[in-house]
Chains A and B, each alone.
Chain A
């Protein structure tokens, strides 16, 4: 099986063209040949009929045998009425010249074909006919211009039979009184002409076939050119160069759809790569920064003798950097596990309100520090989930609400149960999320206020982790935000029965 579409098309073309050209050529040749031969046959048959008709006027004895004599003229009305009459007997002494001889000469002279047809077989004048007539006893009555090898034919009746014998074509028939007539002519020229004609057809047919195939090849190339261009464009797209696209301006409608589909796929791939690249760059930056703090502090502390206070300060700074890195590594691990399908999570029925209460206990000191009022309105709700993950989710949301808040602001938590789903909302009275940042809020390492978030220790992973946790629990997370009036995050879980 040939895998190349172009070659398969070409083979189909070739087959079809061969059938059409070959069929047409064959029919043309056979028709011409049979018309030509039929014309010759008609001529031969007509000549045979003429001879046959002429033989019809011959006396029977002339036709029966070479030596047959004409019957004696009878007196009276035949043997029935003339029983005494002597039977006829040829008597040379009687000196009666046999009248038939003169008749015979005349008859023989008349036994000819029209003049223009008579002549020796000749390539230059192909319509010359020869003929031969045999008597019933196989003796030749008359033969003109006979070529070699003409034999007594086996014709059984008066139907004309045509036979090809080498370069000669002959019509044979049975004439009156068991005579045989053969009329023939040389057809070598006609056969040569037909042969030449056949080669002409083959030549023209081959030319047509070749032109057709070449045309087909060119056509196939034209059809496949955009496909090849698309393939080349797709081939050029790799990790290093994702921005190449298939040019759809000159592409036919049928292929434009395919090109569009491919282009949009390339867009998605590029976006995914870009996200991945950005994530790696961000992660690298976030990890390198605390490392740089650690190293520079250590380098500086060791560069000359320091006082215990200075060492203490350096170690505190290093500890902060280490804590920051730990949190970052923990966050990255959580996300990596979530990407891998959260293999570490143990799903069991849990009281979500209990988890949230515990989280509030942990975070109350932080809220007090920023003079933020934490309130909660928690309905009893059971969800199927992983305790540590849900704890992290609640803590991340509440920490966010505390940190992105005004001094003296409020954070309100609510759990409600409705129609088989559990809804956790965390509402703050902070500055809200700017319109332009809203689509990116769940992206990894995205920070609304880059400078402030750094100083408050946020690493930009909190909400991304929340989203990953919620998705691992088949839940949904979204938010409403009003600028300068606060933000409400809403997490919806399926209630566990």
Chain B
């Protein structure tokens, strides 16, 4: 999952970004309004964490301009706690509102929920055949046995599971698991996919040559699962 954090307070930005990275997110950072808006419009993010009081463009302004084009889930993270502020933020198209100071676990849970809802999956667990992907605990089990995945492998499984039945391009996966500071080669995606197949079975992810990857949609009869 790739998120953008727009926050003018350097130390807060640093700690939020770090916490998100430790939880498997690829994180882009922006300290000013203009920079934030530019990044939000340029890259595909799974969610944006947005402060309201920013130098240059304010959070409200960013939200307004962003919503003209994109539906990226936005979580407002603000010290402004009045009902009026919250209502205004939500009215402008924010999906959630969290008031500073906040518990880190709450931020992570809300962000997670936001991303799930945007993918049309309300429950934190996604079951694909005998494989269960728990987005909350970031754990994958097969036949009840837990399978160890690296953070990036999990990020790819998470993305494909959330987009189950939809073809996901390699670029999209690449953009998803690496933030702006990474300059890894894009064939690393293939390496990760290959590793996932070793752990979860060959048929778990289907390759559409030249197009991308897909976890096939659930077959009509519930008895058969994709292996």
Contacts and interface: CB of A to CB of B under 8 A. Distances in A.
Interface stretch (B4-12, B123-131, B170-178): B4-12
B80 A304 contact: no
Contacts of B104: 295-296, 299-300, 303
Nearest to A299: B104
Nearest to B12: A293
B15 interface: yes
B15 A303 contact: no
Contacts of A293: 9, 11-12, 15
A320 B18 contact: no
B100 A289 contact: yes
Given A300-B104, A451-B31, A292 B8 contact: no
Contacts of A289: 9, 12, 79, 100
A295 B32 contact: no
A293 to B, nearest CB: 5
A196 to B, nearest CB: 76
A363 interface: no
A291 B22 contact: no
A278 to B, nearest CB: 11
A454 interface: yes
B12 A292 contact: yes
Given A281-B80, A292-B79, A300 B15 contact: yes
B12 A296 contact: yes
A276 to B, nearest CB: 13
Contacts of A450: 8, 55
B38 interface: no
Interface in B58-117: 79-82, 99-105, 107
Most buried by A among B18, B79, B99: B79
A74 to B, nearest CB: 135
Contacts of B9: 289, 292-293, 454
Interface string A314-353: 0001001100000000000000000000000000000000
A284 to B, nearest CB: 6
Given A294-B101, A451-B55, A317 B79 contact: no
Given A281-B82, A303-B22, A451-B31, A295 B102 contact: yes
B18 to A, nearest CB: 6
A295 B100 CA distance: 9
Interface residues of A, number: 26
B30 to A, nearest CB: 12
A455 B10 contact: yes
A296 B15 contact: yes
A258 B115 CA distance: 58
Contacts of A320: 11
B8 A285 contact: no
Contact of B32 (A284, A296, A451): A451
**Which DSSP category, helix, strand, loop or mixed, fits chain A's interface?**
helix
Nearest to A318: B11
B24 to A, nearest CB: 13
A295 B106 CA distance: 12
A225 to B, nearest CB: 35
A458 to B, nearest CB: 13
A297 B101 contact: no
Nearest to B81: A284
A104 interface: no
B12 to A, nearest CB: 5
A300 B101 contact: no
Interface string B38-55: 000000000000000101
A450 B32 CA distance: 10
Interface in A440-478: 449-451, 454-455
A285 B79 CA distance: 5
A288 B79 contact: yes
A317 B100 CA distance: 17
A454 B7 CA distance: 12
Interface in A262-293: 281, 284-289, 291-293
A437 to B, nearest CB: 14
Contacts of B32: 451
Contacts of B12: 289, 292-293, 296
A440 to B, nearest CB: 16
Given A289-B100, A299-B103, A451-B55, A321 B11 contact: yes
A296 B19 contact: yes
Given A281-B82, A284-B80, A303-B22, A454 B100 contact: no
Interface of A: 281, 284-289, 291-297, 299-300, 303-304, 317, 320-321, 449-451, 454-455
Given A297-B15, A451-B8, A451-B55, 19 more contacts: A281-B80, A284-B80, A284-B81, A286-B79, A288-B79, A288-B81, A288-B100, A289-B12, A295-B101, A296-B16, A299-B105, A300-B22, A300-B104, A303-B104, A320-B11, A449-B55, A451-B56, A454-B8, A454-B9
12 contacts: A281-B80, A292-B102, A293-B9, A293-B11, A293-B12, A296-B15, A296-B102, A300-B15, A300-B18, A450-B8, A450-B55, A451-B32
Nearest first, the 7 A-B pairs at minimum CB distance are: A299-B104, A288-B79, A292-B100, A451-B55, A292-B101, A285-B79, A450-B55
